[in-house]
């Protein structure tokens, strides 16, 4: 990645740098948003004729809550530039940079400071469809950093680079016409593309007798929502992903939310043969009430959800 970034910087240096008379005293980007180049992992901010680049690698922007700290090692980890005219994401991220605007001034970070990345996730539930959007935001701060060029040094005990949103994953909770499939007799699931809803209940939860059961989710009874993505396009997601404890390539487990609070209600009725005289199976209608899904410190609750009908012999 560093080699890619070095080549990226060299392309920009083909633009002439002027000895302009603009003196930079601080870096002020106002409310400019943090963006990402589509062809690499470089984050950037632009405002008018100003640009700031951040290149510390995607491993610091994972979709997992927490705080990560990167110690600045290279002068190319963070770069500030001013240009002769307005600069945009499209012109900066282009493989071949445009001839204008050209660089007026450039500051490179000195090794030794740190970049702190605080990642949070925010689940938002659509009350009607129960579709749940999971947003991952990364608050980026520079701490004890110095920027230098040939003429000056600018120091910041703390500098707020901004917030970068890396993903908006949508858990559809939609399984139209999906038949319940099984990992085992008591572990069943629904599938829609790369999204799976699993229900793992204790033995005896699907009895061969008519009646209603109310099962409280807890240590031995859980519902799990998994969302898989793929590193390749046009791929089918096998049903075996629901039951596997590992995720084989090219698949990626992008989301896993576990519910161990709430109630599963199972209403069992008999299934008769065509003559309506002999019982040939049992239908277990499964519904959830007040199911609370959790991941890390975050959670969301669905007041009601129909899992479907599970048929046993």
Left if phi > 0, otherwise alpha if psi is -120 to 50, otherwise beta: which for 128?
A: alpha
202, burial (CB in 10 Å: exposed 0-12, middle 13-18, buried 19+): exposed
The structure tokens 């085992």 sit at 184
Pairing of strands 251-272, 211-216: antiparallel
CA distance 14 to 176: 56
- How many alpha carbons fall within 13 Å on the CB side of residue 165? 7
Digit-by-digit pLDDT tens for the chain (313 residues) are 444 444 444 443 334 334 444 444 679 999 999 999 988 899 999 999 999 999 999 999 999 999 999 999 999 999 999 999 999 888 888 776 777 788 999 999 999 999 999 999 999 999 999 999 999 999 999 999 999 998 899 999 999 999 999 999 999 999 998 999 999 989 999 999 999 999 999 999 999 999 999 999 999 999 999 999 998 887 899 999 999 999 999 999 999 999 999 999 999 999 999 998 899 999 999 999 999 999 999 999 999 999 999 999 8
Cβ proximity of 233 and 194 under 8 Å: no
CA distance 99 to 101: 6
pTM comes to 0.82
């Amino acid at each position: 990645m560093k080699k890619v970034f070095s080549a990226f910087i060299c392309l920009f240096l083909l633009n002439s740098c002027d000895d302009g008379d603009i003196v930079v005293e601080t870096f002020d980007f106002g409310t400019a948003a943090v963006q990402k180049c589509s062809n690499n992992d470089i984050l950037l901010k632009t405002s008018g004729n100003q640009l700031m680049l951040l290149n510390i690698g995607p491993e610091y922007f994972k979709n997992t809550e927490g705080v990560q700290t990167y110690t600045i090692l290279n002068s190319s980890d963070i770069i500030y530039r001013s240009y002769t005219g307005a600069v945009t994401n499209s012109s900066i991220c282009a493989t071949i940079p445009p001839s204008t605007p050209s660089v007026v001034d450039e500051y490179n970070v000195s090794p030794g400071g740190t970049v702190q990345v605080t990642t949070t996730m925010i689940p938002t539930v659509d009350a009607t469809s129960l579709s749940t959007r999971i947003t991952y935001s990364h608050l980026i701060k520079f701490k004890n950093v110095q920027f230098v060029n040939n003429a000056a040094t600018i120091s910041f005990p703390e500098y707020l680079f901004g917030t970068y949103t890396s993903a908006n994953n949508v858990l559809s909770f939609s399984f139209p016409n999906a038949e319940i499939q099984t990992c085992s007799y008591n572990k069943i699931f629904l599938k829609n593309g790369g999204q799976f809803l699993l229900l793992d209940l204790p033995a005896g939860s699907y009895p061969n007798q008519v009646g209603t059961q109310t099962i409280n989710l807890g240590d031995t009874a859980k519902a799990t929502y998994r969302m898989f993505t793929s590193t390749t396009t046009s791929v089918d997601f096998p049903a075996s992903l629901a039951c596997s404890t590992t995720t084989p390539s090219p698949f990626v487990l992008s989301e896993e939310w576990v519910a161990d609070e709430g109630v599963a209600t199972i209403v069992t009725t008999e299934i008769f043969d065509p003559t309506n005289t002999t019982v040939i199976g049992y239908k277990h209608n499964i519904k959830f009430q007040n199911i609370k899904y959790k991941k890390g410190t975050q959670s969301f609750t669905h007041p009601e959800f129909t899992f479907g009908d599970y048929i046993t012999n």
